[in-house]
Structure 1
Amino acid sequence: MSEALQERYAPESICFGCGPANPEGLRLRSFPATGDGYEVEAEWTPGPNHRAFPGMINGGIIGALLDCQGNWCAAWYFMRTRGLDHPPVTVTAEYTVRLRKPTPSDAPVQLRARVAEAGERKVVVEADLLSGGECTATCSGTFVAIGERHPAHGSR
């Protein structure tokens, strides 16, 4: 897949973290990991406006990246396990970010997300943010597939 999941399935999304249609957003581009699983990978390059202090990425930016990566992992999981041609809209029910150490802002970071637990409507996703091959932040989140009556449904 040469297009990111966001570009292929939600090109009009204005999400701050991953929306292709948000020119002011982070524009995270997530891709299914190679293999048969439901993991999702991404690489993202910070800019000078993403810093908390000189040389380090802001923790809120890290949280937004991990949230979106987890959300797309959940959507990809539901799409694949349900045999759908388009992922259902998923939203974050809760997530916790652990900032293990400062993340340098002078190089790209890698994000990985994988399903840890799955139910019919929700999944728990574990995600990592790596800088220079070292894990600097982790996230655990619960993501829910929503129906058409949810306010976020029309966002993709």
Structure 2
Amino acid sequence: MMKTIARLHKAMMVLEYFTSHSWVWNMDNVTMLMNQMGSEDKKAFNIDVRQLHWAEYMENYCMGTKKYVLNEELSGLPAARKHLTKLRNIRYTFNTILVVFIWRIFIARSQMARNIWYFVVSLCFKFLSYFRASSTMRY
């Protein structure tokens, strides 16, 4: 436990400057530079951040911080990802059951909710039967 606390304390000390200060970002100079660059320069020096895949970038950023700043091993990542997937599936299942349970109680107590539910279900069946019928048509 002391090893974990020491690592957390080290991470807090390393990142304290960046998390405790306010930053104002300005993109005027980058925009001006992109407008003045030729097509070959734009290909050689891609500085347009709108083309970044941000999810992948953030994952790489976190992995790099974990490996190079905190000096941690990455060997436990597959097990951790598998565990997170399991927890996510449990959360989705629980939330679905909870919503169905609450909705079922709501429908049991309210005639208007029951009518809305039957209307939505009948629309879904009509929609599905339309696609079933249109998929068997020959053009």
The structure whose Rg is larger is 2
TM-score (norm 2): 0.22
TM-score (norm 1): 0.20
Structure with more of its chain in helix, by fraction: 2
